[in-house]
Chains A and B, each alone.
Chain A
Amino acid sequence: MWRFLGRRFVQMLITLLLFQAVTYFLIDAQPGDIADLLTLDPNIPPAERERLRAQLGLDRPPAERFITYIGNFYRGNLGVSFQEYPRPVIDIIKERLPRTVVLFLTASILSFWTGFVTGKILAWRRGGWIEYASTITGVTLYTVFTPWFALMMIWLFAVALNWLPAGKFLDPLKWLDAPISANAVFARMIWSSFFALVIVFVGFWFSNRVPRRQRLVLRAASLLVPLVGMLLYWRLSGLGFYAWDIARHLILPVLTVTLIAYGGTMLLTRTSMLETLREDYVLTARAKGLPDKVVRDKHVARNALLPVWTGLVFSLGNSVSGGIITETIFSWPGIGLTLLNSALVADIPVAMGTLTVVGVMTLISHLIADIGYAFLDPRIRYH
């Protein structure tokens, strides 16, 4: 396993380098550069344009710039933004990446869980009107035009029903006298949610190893303890009001992304389950007289999980770049919006920084998928 991991790590590094080379030269090949755009003003003399080009390093050949960039990158220096000069790219990424990760991680996990559970049940209970309705809904959500759907969601929940905010990260009027920044509150939200999830996960994991009677108590406790803990924490910190404002703004984009991703997961699970159901060992399990729930959940679903797992892990990797449309429509200031804006104005360091994040996330998600296979399917072994 360790040899496998080592080999994969080297492969990942080479792939990342190739990816960076291709993306760098593609972005650089755009006609015009940011110095032209920033100095397109008759009051700015041409010498200033040349000085700016030299300052940004744009007067040097692309290959030389790429080598410098890569050298700096692997020393941990991602450069400074051209558009927000002289702000370091790493600061921009640190500020915006958590927002994207939270939005898409939440949506991916929710869509995976709901899609998997409903897909599993639908495949098990075939032929009813619920299956037809769910399949049509799933296909609709899977094929829907994302910008249109997102705008419809805004119209329904924010304009017509006025239940949720139309977009953005927070409501400025509520933050006028906020004692700390939104980013600090958001960071606390991430950490508190993370610890809560860890408690839930550990609690559930242990609950499978205790007698049936204590299981329910342990599970209830592992849900209640983090919930009460979170409520207490936010209440005592005095920041609950602000955390709730961010959370409220998160609902609509998460719901939209979840619904879009849900259709695909549900359909994939259903198809995968239907294929597995035809396997001989499922017939054997039924013939042995095992309860339906055990056959469905332990014999069929676990084997049907592999392609769904692949879909989930890859979607996590792609979510960083795939959020451009969602982030733009919901004014969610994440990495997707940053990538779009930087690419449009040829802000090479920021575009490269965000694309590299996308590349790294994708490579890591592939690695996680591979490792996950070994856990999910005992037949898979890496040497």
Chain B
Amino acid sequence: MLARKWLTLWALVLIASVVLSACAQPTPQVIKETVVVTQVVEKEGEKVVETKIVEKVVTPTPEPPKEAEIGPYRIGIFEEPVSLNYWNYLGPGSSVWTSYVLTGYAASLFGLADKTFAFVPVLAKDIPEPRKEGDLWVIEVEMVDNATWSDGEPITAQDVVFTHNTCKDLQLTQNWPNSCAPLGADVTAEAVDDFTVRYTFNVTPSLGIWNAGVALAPILPKHFWEPVVKEAYSYIEAVEKPDVERPEDCEAEDLSDEEKAACEAWAAYDEAFENARKTLYEADATGSPVFGGFITDKWEPGAFVQRSQNPNYYFKGAEIIEYSDGTWVQKLPDGTVRQYYGEATGDVTLDYVSGPYAPNVILSIYGSQDAAFLALANGEVDYVLNPLGLSRGLREKAMQGEGIVAYDNPDYGMFYLAFNMRKYPMSEYEFRQAFDIIIDKEFVINNVLQGVVYPMYSTMPPGNGFWYNPAVEENHPYKGLSREERINLAVQVLKEAGWTWEKEPQWDPDASDVIPGEGLRMPNGELMPEVTILGPGPAYDPIRATFNQWISEWARELGMPVKSELTGFNNILGPVFINADFDMYILGWSLGNPAFPDYYEAFWASWNDTATSGNYNTPGFNNPEYDDLVNKFMSTTDIEEARQLCFQMQELLADQRPYIPLFYKRVTDLIRNNIELPYTEVLGGIVDAAGFQTDAKPLVK
């Protein structure tokens, strides 16, 4: 018993000593040096030179500052990439996570400037002009002749034509058609010589077809992919396109023999192409050469993706300069200077030398957003790629980490209220106008949401300065109105349009509140039916849910029986994007390529009505004036004309209100301060900066 007590005591003392020694401050190291000292001493009145050996405490001289060492760039992501096969990435395996690990993989002839998103050459020597040859349009692109893939093979016109033809011949899916057949255009590519590509178009190569489509198309290495593509072609070589029309419904029971035969022929044709595409999408991309700054060379599923420096990156050491007058200058290491869009007279807004700098980029895969930001705070990663937005709590938690800095940038997106204009009373101009009047965006954003988003008035986010029409917001008639003014104006607008109440809504000055209206009748004399605003619930997006509830409440004050229906995102998809059977809804769009906003056609052109075409004009907006503008916009080759047309479209949409823009978000990037980035102010956040991996310098501290 005594022994046990002693043992316990001994164990406690041992633990305590371990804890104390672990917690103790390290004693500063004292360096003693044995030195020979010569000194003059006075001995018996005489001065004598004496030599002594003494121990001397020396202060270590600080080492001269070394050139900053650059370490691996550690990035956190919280979902796996789908595949490392680039064909698959732009096809069925398209995912934002894959884009992070394959960024810079493919080459292209043209690209977009860093901050201005201007159209600039990449592998093209210059920006060519289209010319007409008979009924066809031709663009001939001369390529640089000294660019190589990461394995040292030259990038030639053969690669360009190979990628274009594969996309076209195998009828590649999802995002591919925009590269080889944008807007349904018939585009052929041929190699005139090793470094010249000739494109032929059956329609005008407008900005949407050329600048935002074929010119930006990815180029993949022919020498690596040719065997796979050959195998894929073997499925379709023997298959001919059926010379009968595709029957509408092959599942119908009362098909004639001819229809059955046609169905079978088309099924065989589709299957052959499906097998061909599957061959390509399934192919192993291990060892594939790349164009960009990093080679994705290892993927440990569930753990990380490793990228290593490309020793042959064409733009390594290139200097990029942008000026406030819009000039873009690129100075290549071989002495070539390319300058566009100005005379370089303004202030320098951007100046950096292209990398890659980091020896590796490590993309660590975490199980959730929380886990990834915890790793950032804990020093495991330098940056978290976060397409889901950042809650205030998570931001604060991550900011507790050492050396974390936050960069806020406007997002290139739009959150909006949409009306189903096919249905009465949403089809009434004054009904939509009344909603525009009563929605006090500033109140919801500043008083309720504490400024986490920004109010939006135009259908173009202000962050895209080139296309944004500031007049829409400046001239917005209802901006800054008080609650009383809003309710009075909305009542007036509705009354003038023939709406009546049994009991009209009133502003109560004593209570500073609205006395809600009752018995609202529409201009056709009928009582207004209950209408629903569909929207995501607070768990999915609390901001949209809050807007939904406030808008419904304000509409109810007007006497409108409006119900806010907060539901799962999947529940909104069907009624809005498939059946076009809804009253109103609140959703958001990420707006894609900021260089050419072709969404003005997709979202509001009458021929894209969801109900008739299955496309994305969900409100069913049908306005000939707008159609005319959008037609011109999509077919022009003149960027300045396109800009003016875009301005007009913004004004028309602000007046007609198929959508009422509500807000745009800001993107918050949290990044460790040892990462030097060439610039941090960019539309869409750091991740939308072209060189967020290639041009970053992860300094070892």
Could you tell me which A residues sit within 8 Å of B by CB distance?
30-32, 36-52, 54-55, 83-87, 95-96, 99, 151, 154, 158-159, 165-170, 172-173, 175-176, 181-183, 327-333, 337, 341, 346
Contact = CB atoms under 8 A, between A and B. Distances in A.
Contacts of B589: 42
Interface in B298-317: 298, 300-304, 306
Given A39-B174, A166-B374, A173-B362, A32 B574 contact: yes
Contact of A31 (B82, B302, B573): B573
Interface-centre pick from B175, B177, B304, B360 (highest chain A CB count, 10 A): B304
Contacts of A84: 82-83, 93
Nearest to A182: B300
Given A31-B571, A36-B578, A170 B303 contact: yes
Contacts of A42: 589, 592, 598-599, 602-603, 615-616
Contacts of B301: 95, 183, 333
Contacts of A54: 270
16 contacts: A31-B570, A32-B571, A37-B573, A38-B174, A41-B175, A43-B592, A52-B174, A84-B83, A85-B88, A95-B302, A159-B377, A166-B371, A166-B374, A170-B300, A172-B364, A330-B371
Contacts of B568: 31
Contact of A48 (B173, B573, B598): B173
Contacts, number: 154
A262 B306 CA distance: 38
B362 A43 contact: no
Nearest to B213: A43
A287 to B, nearest CB: 29
Contacts of A166: 371, 374-375, 378, 380
Contact of A175 (B302, B304, B614): B304
A209 to B, nearest CB: 34
A86 B284 CA distance: 12
Nearest to B592: A43
B300 A175 contact: yes
B366 A331 contact: yes
Interface residues of B, number: 60
A242 B366 CA distance: 19
Contact of B366 (A36, A99, A168, A181): A168
Lowest 5 A-B CB distances belong to which pairs? Answer: A333-B302, A46-B614, A42-B602, A32-B570, A331-B367
Interface of B: 72, 74, 79-80, 82-83, 88, 92-94, 173-175, 177-178, 270, 274, 278, 281-282, 298, 300-304, 306, 360, 362, 364-368, 370-372, 374-375, 377-378, 380, 568-571, 573-574, 577-578, 589, 592, 598-599, 602-603, 613-616
B374 to A, nearest CB: 6
A168 B364 CA distance: 9
A42 B364 CA distance: 31
B93 A85 contact: yes
Given A42-B599, A84-B93, A166-B375, A99 B302 contact: yes
B578 to A, nearest CB: 7
Nearest to B82: A84
A331 B371 contact: yes
A86 B282 CA distance: 6
A46 B602 CA distance: 11
Contacts of A337: 367
B574 A31 contact: yes
Given A48-B177, A173-B362, 13 more contacts: A32-B569, A32-B573, A36-B570, A43-B175, A43-B178, A43-B598, A46-B614, A47-B614, A48-B173, A151-B370, A176-B362, A183-B301, A331-B371
Contact of A330 (B364, B367, B614): B367
